[in-house]
Amino acid sequence: MTPADASGTSVAIDTANELNLELVRFLYADHGGVTRGKAAALRFLPERIASGIGHTTAMMAITMLETLAPVDGMSPVGEVRIKPDPETLVALPYAPGAGAMLADLVRPDGQPWEACSRTFLKQAIAELASEGFTMEAAFEPEFTLGRREPDPSGGPDRLVPTDDSLCYSATGFHQAHDFVMELVGALNAQGLKVEHYYPELGHGQQEISIRHAPALQAADHHVLYRETVRGVAFRRGLWASLAPKPIPDQAGNGTHLHASLTELNADGSPGAPAFTDPSDRYGLSKTGYHFIGGLLKHIGGLVALSCGSVNSYRRLQPQFWSSAYTVYGMDNREAAVRICSPLRGDPASTVNLEFKPSDSSANPYLALGAFIYAGLDGIRQRIDPGEAVNVDPATMTEEERQTAGARRLPLSLAEALDELALDDLLISKLGPMRSTAYLAVKRAEAAAFAEHDTAWECFQHFLRF
Ligand code: GLU
Ligand code: MG
């Protein structure tokens, strides 16, 4: 343990004692996209931070339907440890007496396990640093606030939204107010800086955005966010879902990914913003264009990780502002990659890219790690992304779309997985164990949902996400 690690650990232990956190949850995200974990009792926290809590390797081969995909090295025989990062300790405002830390999955000897997704993101960040960049990122989640109710006709339970207010309407603010105030307080108390709130387009749909943070912290924040939204709702007898399309005929819940790069100084401190060039017509630097080139080159496989569930592909429809085509554009909400116009007063550091085919059924560590590797490939190969598309691609003719290189994003999880399997870069960065397990888990989910109808699919997704 380095001196910095040791001091982080002792701060976490002192804080847990001061706050009398009887149980501290060690949380991780699995390949099904579900947050899971085990909790340590306060008395044993120092030991468990050092050793981690024992866990079966099988849990990274489990699907969101709780079936076990056949993956070598992930079975009831074999052990890893859920090893928390003490820097991430928070008290959980929606679970009095409990705290949480985000965790890696490590081998019993403490070495990183090849299937750990948080480690994957750390590796991507390190590779980005080796090229002289660091990333600030923010997940921008939408969710549906409702009640879980039986279907009068005997089908699976439905998510019945709490309101039918209009997009950004004052009525929407009124109707969700008490819940939202509690949620905002709970997010801020955990160190997530709430930036905006609005009632959005779909019935019961809410969006609360969180200030950007260094990439690993942004992914950690997103795990805490998802649990906070649901935790606060459950305690009020409500049901909140971040599933991509919990209600088939309403707007989907995206979790757009915003990111910008900063140059690293020789001493490792952050230097100048790397995505800005005031002389460019969209204010974007060459590095920014190359990053987009990499995203578009790898988009099929990338989407398999950023839109990680069967339900994700019900959301990615033209003219739902979710993106459906492989294009980028300036402030284009139908493009897969949007160059966000800078804010007046701080143009240099507010240029950022928004990746729209991204939702909260993804494992955020895998999604953000793959996003970094794809963009980095664009920087290294100096990939030209072509011309920006500044119209809704659905309104173009087929011929215009072909000229612009606008292809449909994968239409199903199965299609996206096939693209991922053919993406040599992403597969090699994931490594054999992670990629095999991810493809096996997700293919098992695709096959299982193919046997069922839309109502069951939506039910299973709003239950878990
Ligand atoms: N709900 C849209 C989606 O599925 C996003 C709407 C917006 O631009 O905020 O991504
Ligand atoms: Mg939105």
Which atom belonging to ligand 1 lies closest to the Cα atom of 205? 1
Predicted pLDDT at 341 = 82
Q: pLDDT tens, 278-327? A: 899 999 999 999 999 999 999 999 999 999 999 999 999 999 999 999 99
SS percent in the chain: helix, strand, coil, step 5:
40, 25, 35
Q: Which atom of ligand 1 is nearest to the CA of 251?
A: 1
- CA distances 433 to 73, 83, 410, 436, Å, are 8, 19, 24, 5
Which residue type sits at 263?
A: E
Q: Which numbered ligand comes closest to the C-alpha of 257?
A: 1
- Give 7's pLDDT tier (boundaries 50, 70, 90): confident
**Atom of ligand 1 at shortest range from CA of 252:** 4
Q: Which of 139, 167, 195, 201 to mutate to test the pocket of ligand 1 (most atoms within 8 A of CB)?
A: 201
Q: How confident is the model at residue 268 (pLDDT cuts 50, 70, 90)?
A: confident
Q: Is 159 within 8 Å of 464 (Cβ atoms)?
A: no
CA–CA separation, 415 vs 413, rounded Å?
Answer: 5
Concatenated DSSP letters of 337-400:
EEEEPPPTT-HHHH-EEEE-S--TTS-HHHHHHHHHHHHHHHHHHT----S---S-GGGS-HHH
The CB of 83 under 6 Å from ligand 1? The reply is no
Burial of residue 337, with CB atoms counted within 10 A of its CB: 0-12 exposed, 13-18 middle, 19 or more buried = buried
Query: Tell me: the pLDDT tens digits for 342-362?
Result: 777 776 667 899 999 999 999
Is 321 touching ligand 1 by the criterion CB < 6 Å? Answer: yes
Q: Nearest to residue 101, comparing CAs of 187, 218, 190?
A: 190
**Structure confidence at residue 241 (pLDDT):** 98
Q: Which pLDDT belongs to residue 2? A: 66
pLDDT computed for residue 4 by the predictor: 64
- Asked whether 254 lines ligand 1 (CB < 6 A), one says yes
Mutate to test the pocket of ligand 1, among 241, 245, 319, 356 (most ligand atoms within 8 A of CB): 356
Residue 429 Cβ inside 6 Å of ligand 1? The answer reads: no
pLDDT digits (tens, 9 = 90+) for 225-245: 999 999 999 999 999 999 999
CA distances from 459 to 158, 244, 453 (A): 6, 12, 10
Please give the C-alpha separations between residue 65 and each of 86, 412, 447, 448, in angstroms, as whole numbers. Answer: 31, 18, 11, 9
Query: Which atom belonging to ligand 1 lies closest to the Cα atom of 202?
Result: 1
Q: Which ligand is nearest to the CA of 140?
A: 2
Domains of the chain: 3-112 (3.10.20.70), 124-464 (3.30.590.10)
C-beta atoms surrounding 4 within 10 Å: 9
Give this prediction's pTM.
0.96
* Distance of CA 296 from the midpoint of ligand 1 (Å): 20
Residue 106 CA, ligand 1 centroid: distance in Å: 36
User: 451: Cβ–Cβ under 8 A, 6 or more apart, which residues?
Assistant: none
Nearest atom within ligand 1 for CA of residue 244: 4
Mean pLDDT of the chain: 95
Quick one: tokens of 208?
């609360």
Helix (H, G, I), strand (E, B) or coil at 335: strand
Please tell me if the CB atom of residue 354 comes closer than 6 angstroms to any atom of ligand 1: no
What is the C-alpha radius of gyration for the chain, rounded to an integer number of angstroms? 21
Q: CB within 5 A of ion ligand 2: which residues?
A: 207
Q: Write out pLDDT tens, residues 125-184.
A: 999 999 999 999 999 999 999 999 999 999 999 999 999 999 999 999 999 999 999 999
Average pLDDT over residues 20-46: 96
Q: Which of 196, 200, 360, when mutated, tests ligand 1's pocket best, judged by the most ligand atoms within 8 Å of its CB?
A: 200
